[in-house]
Amino acid sequence: MNFDIVGQKAYIKNGPHRNRIGTVKKNEKQLESHFAIVIGEQSIDVELKDIVLVGVDVGQFHTWCEQNGYL
Total number of domains constituting the chain? 1
pLDDT tens, position by position, 34-50: 899 999 999 998 888 89
What's the domain range around 34?
Answer: 9-67
For residue 3, being part of any structural domain is answered with no
For residue 4, being part of any structural domain is answered with no
* C-beta separation of 41 from 34 below 8 A: no
pLDDT tens, position by position, 1-15: 688 999 999 999 988
For residue 32, being part of any structural domain is answered with yes
* Banded pLDDT at 28 (limits 50, 70, 90): confident
Note the pTM of the prediction, 2 decimals.
0.81
For residue 1, being part of any structural domain is answered with no
What distance in Å separates the CA atoms of residue 45 and residue 50, rounded to the nearest whole number? 10
